[in-house]
Amino acid sequence: MYQFPKGFLWGAAASATQTEGAAQVAGKAKNIWDYWFEIEPDRFHNRIGPALTSDFYKQFKEDIQRMKAVHFNSFRTSISWSRLLPDGKNVNKEAVHFYNEVFDQLLLEDIKPIVNLFHFDMPLIMQEKGGWESLEVVEAFNHYAKTAFELFGDKVKKWTTFNEPIVPVEMGYLNHYHYPCVVDMKRAVTVAYNSMLASAKVIKTYRQLNQTGEIGIILNLTPSYPRSDSQGDIEAANMADLFFNRSFLDPSVLGEYPTELVEVLRKHDLLPEVNQGDLELIKENTVDYLGVNYYQPRRVKEKEAPSNTDSIMPESFFDPYIWPERRMNPYRGWEIYEKGLYDIAINIKDNYGNIPWYVAENGMGVENEERFKDENGMIQDDYRIEFYEEHLKWLHKGIEAGSNCFGYHVWTFMDNWSWLNAYKNRYGLYRVDLETQQRYLKKSGQWFGDIAKQNGFK
């Protein structure tokens, strides 16, 4: 029997932009996704934008009842910055009413809300000021966070500052997959640094308000595995770990950046502008707990050919490596490696003070799931059940080894809109019919409900 600790949190994760819809009504201003779809709709799968997504704005009461039906005791979502403060300063009363109703309904069903403040959805007016490249936006984010704490802190006792702050860096400033589609390592470093500065400021603000909750951050951790135990391969894995994990994990939990990372950035003239008091702020305002999103590992080897030193990128220091024994999710092109979750658990225990943490996302996206419907219309997603079960076995092993994990959230509760991919890959425990917006329980939802009810499985 894989039994989990008493009070273990079972639930799912979602975000405002990916589920709410009502994208430009009820007082909400545009965020970068609304704007990008407006100017380049062909970039989005099947030209599906964020206007309606999964209609949570209208159906949240019924959806929360569906969460209760599969025995959730927790649910993580986000507040939309551009909905709460459309002009960046003044509160939208319709947004306050909506979020209060969502939190009230969750609490009524004994589902603990975990609320995130930023999930890739920069308000357009803030992007026009420079986004995370701008210290003015860092201050505006702090104002938004303080507003949210004061409005909802009596109901929400678990907050997070960012979800996957590396994603806007990697996808928006090192690639063309998120707006503003900049490819510039120097600017990417600034965005990453200012995100950590913003997180620390918000944590300080939260504590100054003396609210009776906790505040953390959610990071997507991708364990870096070397091809071999050769010095070159091990150094390559270390560099990947520095850029893609420790660049956010160390300042968030330990309050300081890895010396080796700082030296690499200094060597290539990539250090961000650091103002007086910044590093003290980061040092003194570390997180109370950590959320970990885990989907896939990163496998690397020593570079076979030197990179062009005029355009340094993280990949300038390692090459990807295809492990011959790997299993793949062909729809996402991601390796399935359940043991990675155990390795994360032990790393947190051994190197990060065994800080309390939970799995904030773990999931499997599959294309064309309709083909797996049975005669009763239920998606027979045994592949997702297997994915979750194997990850949970390794997580349980990490907990047995002493790692301080307090919950497991899947991505996601119901099929939701996913940035450029829209609804190409489905992740939900509930299927969403895009034509009718009706929800239908999948086999994995039924299975997850049993796990949550029993707080474990055989």
pLDDT digits (tens, 9 = 90+) for 63-93: 999 999 999 999 999 999 999 999 999 999 9
Given a contact cutoff of 8 angstroms between Cβ atoms, the answer to whether 12 and 72 are in contact is yes
Given a contact cutoff of 8 angstroms between Cβ atoms, the answer to whether 88 and 140 are in contact is yes
The three-state secondary structure class of 360 is strand
So what's the pLDDT on residue 206? 98
Q: Which residues contact 315 (CB under 8 A, 6 or more apart)?
A: 307
What percentage of the chain has pLDDT greater than the value 90?
A: 98
State the Cα–Cα distance between residues 156 and 100, nearest whole angstrom.
10
Could you tell me which of 141, 146, 34, 156 has the C-alpha nearest to residue 102?
156
Is the link from the previous residue into 5 a cis peptide, with omega within 30 of 0?
A: no
The three-state secondary structure class of 231 is helix
User: What's the DSSP call for residue 369?
Assistant: G
Could you tell me which of 82, 35, 86, 199 has the C-alpha nearest to residue 132?
199
So what's the pLDDT on residue 307? 74
Could you tell me which of 30, 63, 32, 29 has the C-alpha nearest to residue 416?
63
Integer angstrom CA distances of residue 275 from 169, 193, 194: 21, 11, 11
The three-state secondary structure class of 258 is coil
**pLDDT interval class at 311 (50, 70, 90):** confident
- Count the neighbouring beta carbons within 10 Å of the beta carbon of residue 44: 19
Q: Is the Cα dihedral 446, 449, 454, 458 positive or negative? A: positive
Residues involved in catalysis: 164, 361
Given a contact cutoff of 8 angstroms between Cβ atoms, the answer to whether 147 and 84 are in contact is yes
State the Cα–Cα distance between residues 178 and 440, nearest whole angstrom.
31
Half-sphere exposure of 241 toward its Cβ, with a 13 Å CA cutoff? 16
State the Cα–Cα distance between residues 203 and 217, nearest whole angstrom.
10
State the Cα–Cα distance between residues 298 and 314, nearest whole angstrom.
13
Check whether 108 has a pLDDT greater than 90.
yes
Given a contact cutoff of 8 angstroms between Cβ atoms, the answer to whether 247 and 145 are in contact is no
- CATH code of the domain covering residue 114: 3.20.20.80
Half-sphere exposure of 396 toward its Cβ, with a 13 Å CA cutoff? 15
Global pTM reads 0.97
Region 208-233 average pLDDT = 97
Question: What's phi and psi for 361, nearest 5 deg?
Answer: -155, 140
Check whether 308 has a pLDDT greater than 80.
no
Q: Which two tokens stand for residue 263?
A: 């030296």
Check whether 210 has a pLDDT greater than 90.
yes
State the Cα–Cα distance between residues 378 and 337, nearest whole angstrom.
27
- pLDDT tens for each residue of 369-397: 999 999 999 999 999 999 999 999 999 99
Q: Which residues of 307-337 are buried (b: 16+ CB within 10 A; e: fewer)?
A: eeeeebebebbbeebeeeeeeebeebeebbb
- Count the neighbouring beta carbons within 10 Å of the beta carbon of residue 453: 12
So what's the pLDDT on residue 83? 98
**pLDDT interval class at 11 (50, 70, 90):** very high
**pLDDT interval class at 329 (50, 70, 90):** very high
So what's the pLDDT on residue 84? 98
Region 342-366 average pLDDT = 98
Is the link from the previous residue into 222 a cis peptide, with omega within 30 of 0?
A: no
Q: State the total domains in the chain.
A: 1
State the Cα–Cα distance between residues 224 and 264, nearest whole angstrom.
18
Tell the burial category of 242 from Cβ atoms under 10 Å away from its Cβ (0-12, 13-18, 19+). buried
Q: Which residue segment(s) compose the domain that 417 sits in?
A: 2-457
Query: Quick one: how far is CA 164 from the chain centroid?
Result: 4
Could you tell me which of 135, 194, 133, 112 has the C-alpha nearest to residue 161?
194
State the Cα–Cα distance between residues 419 and 37, nearest whole angstrom.
10
Do the bridges between strand 456-457 and strand 2-3 make them parallel or antiparallel, or are there none, so unpaired? antiparallel
What does pLDDT average to over the chain? 97
- pLDDT tens for each residue of 411-453: 999 999 999 999 999 999 999 999 999 999 999 999 999 999 9
Check whether 5 has a pLDDT greater than 80.
yes
- pLDDT tens for each residue of 225-268: 999 999 999 999 999 999 999 999 999 999 999 999 999 999 99
- pLDDT tens for each residue of 330-340: 999 999 999 99
Check whether 181 has a pLDDT greater than 70.
yes
State the Cα–Cα distance between residues 36 and 30, nearest whole angstrom.
10
The three-state secondary structure class of 98 is helix
State the Cα–Cα distance between residues 217 and 135, nearest whole angstrom.
20
So what's the pLDDT on residue 309? 62
User: What's the DSSP call for residue 245?
Assistant: I
So what's the pLDDT on residue 17? 98
